[in-house]
Chains A and B, each alone.
Chain A
């Protein structure tokens, strides 16, 4: 059954993307080793990863199966990046990789050697909030706060990439980020205001 909403492009994208990520997140070594019902106990594969997070270069040794999201949350204590679905559908885990917004739950950490990651924690400078963070507070663009990090990371690239020209274009760009509390109107207000000020973000 089709929903009654007028726009539906993202829905079919979501369905396709789910199937893709299932394949993607199963490293080939496991697909081979654990075919059907056989199992070969093996040591957990550890791999080296050099990655820059919020301006700090890290030399890590990580479980090859770790997603960028779980690396951030469980290993590095960057819990500002949220886990909402692990299927690339909700946007709560949105971060910037080399300046581009990306859903970190869909990314194996090891595929990001030498990449520069920015999380919500890297947006503010100490106590000084990023203009988008300040605008989110001013417009009360959240309630529970759980989708907020992802909304803000998307909001920043929305403005940076020139997608904040109208309310409709902001909404279309931000459709990647679900807010179940329903702060959508306030989120768009916050983004529109930051875009209007023309401040470089």
Chain B
């Protein structure tokens, strides 16, 4: 809550909260259209090869079944044409697996046919009667084996400053390997698309996406139709964590079916399909070497990484990036390679590559601190930098030291044993650990429409989406502050590609990018109001715009507060029923480009390890964020809490299991893939520096979505080492990795 001139402008509750607690908020699959048909994917039961034939006759004979669409009867799709010369001019090639297009199987569980029926029950009942005859080919899904053969690897990018492998010459150094398995986003809402062709070249989609505009672009280019003829609606998104940053097979498949059957089609993925069709955090192997002089100054960092991708697309992320600039170090070299496997394509998952990379970097620094007999926080402070050592630009703002100070006190760092395994409480081995997270803080371009109507209410619109962080709330708060008026009179609308273009929600960039546009829109509206006031209202006659201010729903003279007029009266006097403006806020300006911008986090963990069976109980987490001004404190806190939960899953339980004999994912359900539950979550404190970053944008805010998770897993493994003396470098931590026998 914030008061300004004794006026409370906003409560800190989510503005869309009521709709979410009473079931009114509608997600993609929850729309219903007249004459809508239901579609369900049939998926491959081999990992690689081709399909010789698909017998659809039995499925087609089932009651209610309308069609079985597969490569032999799939209508042509402009974006499926590989040869650019043959492709219609306004079409672009679909990126990724062209679903229902050919008879090739590229991964286990790939959709090979789509059953469409007049009810979900009929479609679902028919899928098991679609019989495919496969011609299997040899395949490889085994990352751990395949990465050992250099022939399998694609070099992606190398980087060097100073001397390569310099860390080996240092007074003390460590060199360790780290493994992180495939993790799956598993948002609670299943991916879904409803496609409705309203004309031969005009389609409306209800889709689960983090970017209505990017989905609009993908669909218009894939089907070779004008952008304006594609409308994508995603008013509510039930979590996505990166998986909604691109369109997957469900989008073209629903469009194809709806077009072929000439009726709206709803296609909802199943939970098992959520494990293989909508991306995942790639498996990674990393080797990190780091060395320091006797005083703790870093001498060199070498970071090598391999992540998997599919055979049909390259997916890369910033796995080695933080090692280049989080700490002061003259000699840094990184090497990043991709390993194509017969799996579907990975995609960014919360914290993306930086989460994997910081696990290695922050674990290795902890390891080094024990070699140096130095406190790990002291070691980090020793190498603290306010200038990005990679591009030599100053950070626009960095207050990590404040995060350390807060965390040290709150977690009780002074109780941390300097000798691992030496502290016991209630029969448990107790350990303390901490780690740092860093992520880029961008500012892109976005357009916002602002409408002030003659009832004094303001409507703001932007084609961004809100997958849960509270964008709608944060933007409404921003407008409320900028306009100095009550939040109840402001509405922010998003989740529709018909709205002015906004970014996809991702990369922790929404608040900075869209927030800057909202701020600019409000300032532009205030300017316009002043102009109209001077022109139309006699009380302001002859005054200069700079002599006026807009607040408390009034236009007021700065020098004499008695000279004022309600904004609704200004509109009335000017004979205008509304002011309707659309503005565009661009990326960073020249002054802002003189800095490099990042958000930072420091996570502190206290945990207990049961010495009898190696099970871990996290006792307390303190998570701190340095991300500029916090626009919406309540939802920001929730986002940080969510990052902790995600990090606990990454550290302790999440791992996709593949049977390398068949290529099949064998734990594609919540029963097999273990995400954290209520009981696994310790009391967690959230703290923000909450200081506007003066150099990133006008609002001083940076993103927190990624830093909430980045570093958390290392904080946990560091605490486990502190508790037990066992260093776990392969996630997730299991009792076996701590030397205990499995009970299974």
> Do they bind each other?
yes
- The answer to whether A18 and B669 touch across the interface, beta carbons within 8 angstroms, is yes
* CB-defined contacts of A34 to chain B, threshold 8 Å: 128-129
When distances are taken between beta carbons in the complex, the residues of chain B under 8 Å from A3 are 652-653, 674, 732, 734
Contact with B along A37-74 (1 / 0, CB 8 A): 10101111000000000000000000101100010011
A80–B32 CB distance below 8 A: no
The chain A residue sitting closest to B733, CB to CB, is A4
Let me know if B372 is at the binding interface, CB within 8 A: no
| Chain A residue with the shortest CB-CB distance to B26 | A79
A122 to chain B, nearest CB (A): 9
Of chain B, the residue at the smallest CB distance from A13 is B671
**In the complex, which range does the number of interface residues on chain A fall in?**
35 or more
Partner of B675, one of A81, A149, A180: A180
Q: What string of 1s and 0s marks CB contacts (under 8 Å) between B213-255 and chain A? A: 0000000000000000000000011110100000000000000
User: Once the chains bind, are B468 and A145 in contact (CB under 8 Å)?
Assistant: yes
Q: Which residues of chain B from 682 to 716 have any CB-CB distance to chain A below 8 Å in the complex?
A: 683-684
A100 to chain B, nearest CB (A): 19
- Which residues of A lie under 8 Å from residue B653 when comparing CB positions? 3-5
Docked pose: A150 CA to B379 CA in angstroms = 46
Interface residues of B in 613-645 (CB under 8 A from A): 614-617, 634-635, 637-639, 641-645
Interface centre among B616, B645, B732 (most CB of A within 10 A): B645
Which residue on chain A has the smallest CB distance to residue B610?
A6
Query: B641 contacts which of A4, A42, A186 (Cβ < 8 Å)?
Result: A186
Binary contact track A1-12/B, C-beta < 8 Å → 1, others 0: 111111100110
In Å, the complex CA distance between A133 and B733 comes to 37
Q: Is the CB of B617 within 8 A of A39?
A: no
Q: Tell me which residues across on chain A come within 8 A of B125, comparing CB atoms.
A: 30, 65
* A179 contacts partner chain B, Cβ-Cβ < 8 Å: yes
Question: Is B678's CB under 8 angstroms from A175's CB?
Answer: yes
B712 to chain A minimum Cβ distance, whole angstroms, is 11
Which residue in A15, A85, A136, A144 is a CB contact (below 8 Å) of B238?
A144
Closest B residue to A44 using CB positions: B63
The answer to whether B734 touches A147, judged by C-beta atoms less than 8 angstroms apart, is no
- Report the bound CA distance from A198 to B219 in whole Å: 53
Interface size on B, residues (CB 8 A): 90
Please pick, from B120, B190, B645, the residue contacting A74 in the complex, using a CB distance under 8 A: B120
Task: Kindly identify which residue among B19, B188, B614, B641 contacts A144, using a CB–CB cutoff of 8 Å.
Answer: B188
With A181-B642, A183-B642 known to touch, is A133 a contact of B683 (CB < 8 Å)? no
Q: Known A4-B653, A11-B671; judge A129-B678 contact (CB<8 A).
A: no
Q: Is B18 part of the contact surface with A, judged by Cβ < 8 Å?
A: yes
Q: Please state if B744 and A2 are interface contacts (CB–CB under 8 Å).
A: yes
Which residues from chain A contact B270 at a C-beta distance below 8 Å? 86
Q: Are the C-beta atoms of B18 and A129 separated by less than 8 Å? A: yes
Q: In the complex, what distance in Å separates the CA atom of A113 from the CA atom of B12?
A: 44
Find A84's partner among B22, B190, B681 (CB 8 Å cutoff). B190
B680 engages A5 (CB within 8 Å): yes
Which of A14, A66, A83, A180 has the most chain B CB atoms inside 10 A of its CB?
A180
With A and B bound together, what is the CA distance between A134 and B641 in angstroms? 20
- What does the 1/0 interface line of B708-744 toward A look like (CB < 8 Å)? 0000000000000000000000001111100000111
Q: How far is the CA of A135 from the CA of B742 in the complex (A)?
A: 42
CB distance from B217 to the nearest CB of A (A): 24
CB distance from B29 to the nearest CB of A (A): 7
Task: Give complex CA distance A181, B470 in Å.
Answer: 12
Please tell me if B580 contacts chain A, counting CB pairs below 8 Å.
no
The answer to whether B268 and A83 touch across the interface, beta carbons within 8 angstroms, is yes
In Å, the complex CA distance between A168 and B683 comes to 11
CA–CA, A122 and B66, complex, Å: 36
Whether B197 sits at the interface, judged by CB under 8 Å, is no
Complex CA distance for A140 and B187, rounded to whole angstroms: 18
- Please list 9 pairs of residues, one from A and one from B, whose beta carbons are closer than 8 Å in the complex, sorted by A's number: A1-B742, A1-B744, A119-B23, A144-B188, A179-B188, A180-B186, A181-B239, A181-B645, A184-B641
> Which B residues form the contact surface with A (CB < 8 A)?
13-14, 16-27, 29-30, 32, 58, 61-64, 119-122, 125, 128-129, 131, 185-190, 236-239, 241, 268, 270-271, 467-470, 610, 614-617, 634-635, 637-639, 641-646, 652-653, 655, 657, 669-672, 674-681, 683-684, 732-736, 742-744
